[in-house]
Amino acid sequence: MGASPANAAPTASLQRRQKISGLPVVYHEAYSAPQLPPGHRFPMVRICSVPFYAADHLVHVPDELPTHETLQLVHTAEFVDSFTGGTLDEARMKRIGFGDVTRSPVLIERTLAEVAGTLLTARLALRHGLACNTAGGTHHAFPDSGSGFCILNDLAVTAAVLLEEARVERVLILDLDVHQGDGTALMFQDEPRVFTMSVHGESNFPARKQRSDLDVPLPDGTADDEYLRVLGEMLPPVLSCFQPDLVLYDAGVDPHKDDSLGKLALTDQGLLRRELQVLDTCLAADIPVAGYVGGGYSPDLNVLARRHTLLHRAASEMWDSYELGSRESMPE
Ligand SMILES: [Zn+2]
């Protein structure tokens, strides 16, 4: 359980008794700390705007970082030791795409904090029905290496921890980032308790796709109506057949028409409709959802930050319309 900065670390029991006044949002100051070279495509600073738009929400901060043992539920011990020890080799650093910054303590802390925040968001979602992180969705991370600006796979670690703790029996990882969730798909290819669904641009990174439980590759230029039609056809049967206890939702905004790395053609309105559609579909089936921002690329960080907040806008709306704030909290 995280603490609200305004409330100086209330105990878990106190926190449980409090009426949640708004959508739970998870944030850690380390999310936006690392400094990448000017012009780097991965805009960590985008998260800086989060405290402003999250002002109406109860902001939760993860209070502990994941242990090596936790990370090793999905990653190899050698990779965890090399990365956290700042000794990752050049070849694997190159594949990640952050250069020498990968070995810096500040990026190591950021990466661990993101995993912690993703897990906390999922716990909050299980308790309240809905919660959102302000980072998360590092789906290109593999067991023994990172890739494409992803180092540790926060979604996979979170699913594995909750299964290990028997908090859930089945988890759906719904990945709508424009890039295929290849690392997640590989990690759970032989795990029947996790269903991986990836809707992505078929011509986009990664060139070599893995096999998700359900892949929905879309042609370049796919726009709002077609995208939402396909999603509306594909998601409900997955929910009714697999019956997940929790959905981990990677809401990457890189399918946007102006995204630097995208190739699809969704508008702001289309992305907002997507978030409402996903959340409404899951919540109507009484399935908790944890939302993650995923990827998004633009030289204009204000535009990008606004695009990412569409998830939180939609989630706030759903929080109110499903009256989740007045719902009895699930026991821990
Ligand atoms: Zn992406």
Residue 288 CA to ligand 1 center (angstroms) comes to: 24
Domain span at 270:
5-326
For the stretch 119-174, pLDDT in tens is 999 999 999 999 999 999 999 999 999 999 999 999 999 999 999 999 999 999 99
**Model confidence at 97, in pLDDT bands (50, 70, 90)?**
very high
Helix axes 268-284, 301-321, angle to 10 degrees: 30
331 located within any domain: no
Structure confidence at residue 302 (pLDDT) = 84
**Model confidence at 44, in pLDDT bands (50, 70, 90)?**
low
For the stretch 182-205, pLDDT in tens is 999 999 999 999 999 999 999 999
Residue 178 CA to ligand 1 center (angstroms) comes to: 5
38 located within any domain: yes
Q: Which residues of 192-228 are buried (b: 16+ CB within 10 A; e: fewer)?
A: ebbbbbbbbbeebbeeebbebbbbbebeeebebebbb
Q: What is the DSSP letter of 129?
A: S
Measured CA to CA, the distance from residue 231 to residue 142 in angstroms comes to 26
Measured CA to CA, the distance from residue 73 to residue 60 in angstroms comes to 25
Residue 241 CA to ligand 1 center (angstroms) comes to: 27
332 located within any domain: no
Lowest mean pLDDT among 7-11, 252-256, 274-278: 7-11
Measured CA to CA, the distance from residue 288 to residue 83 in angstroms comes to 32
- Give me the numbers of helices (H) and strands (E) for the chain, helices first please: 11, 8
Cβ 266 vs Cβ 256: under 8 Å: yes
Q: Per the residue annotation, which of 140, 179, 200, 256 is the catalytic one?
A: 140
User: Which tokens hold the place of 104?
Assistant: 């810096």
Q: Is 60 a catalytic residue?
A: no
Residue 61 CA to ligand 1 center (angstroms) comes to: 25
Asked whether the predicted pLDDT for residue 232 surpasses 90, the reply is yes
Asked whether the predicted pLDDT for residue 23 surpasses 70, the reply is yes
Over the chain, what is the mean pLDDT?
89
Number of domains within the chain: 1
Q: Higher confidence at residue 45 or residue 220?
A: 220
Asked whether the predicted pLDDT for residue 2 surpasses 50, the reply is no
Residue 226 CA to ligand 1 center (angstroms) comes to: 19
Residue 252 CA to ligand 1 center (angstroms) comes to: 6
CATH number of the structural domain spanning residue 316:
3.40.800.20
